[in-house]
Amino acid sequence: MSNTRISKKEEVFLTEQTSKLFDPLDFADTFSTTNHEDSLEEISKLIFTLKSKWIIALFELRNKLVSVFGLKTDIPSDYKEDFVVGGYVGFFKIYAISDEQLILGADDKHLKFRVGIHNTQAATNNIKVTTLVQLNNTFGKIYMTIIAPFHRLIVKRMVGQGYSDAAPSAS
């Protein structure tokens, strides 16, 4: 089964915490998958570990193009893989950790970005991955207009990497 069939686009899913992150909120979307086997730490690593060659190539192209405009493309000086607030999962900083939700993200001069990974405990599509963006300037608006279609393709594929078909445990 392909990753695009085991993840799906949904209505934007906001929790109390994620609904307060950005005002105004300029872009948001949610993709979901099913995983009752792994912890949110493990799921976040499954999702944000780049595996597909085409996704890696698109990120490399993006980094080459935006470096001309002074956007961040290098590993941050505070990078550490520790799963704690301030650590990183893939290339995203950890802003908050709870039993039900992680908040990761990055800030740059053109936009602020957060992703919430939330476990709803539903029987299917329990893992909700919500992207939230606040645009800082006109360049951010142009950037999101160009990136949004690629974002949707890439995120759907990456969320599918978090899928596990193990049945939920009875509580």
pLDDT digits (tens, 9 = 90+) for 72-114: 777 777 888 899 999 999 889 999 999 999 999 999 999 999 9
Distance CA 98, CA 39 (A): 11
For residue 163, what are the contacts with CB-CB under 8 A and spacing of at least 6?
3, 6, 7, 33, 34, 35
Write down all domains in the chain, each with its CATH number in brackets: 7-160 (3.30.530)
- In this predicted model, what pLDDT tens digit does every residue of 34-49 receive, in sequence order? 999 999 999 999 999 8
The torsion region of residue 78 among left (phi > 0), alpha (psi -120 to 50) and beta comes to alpha
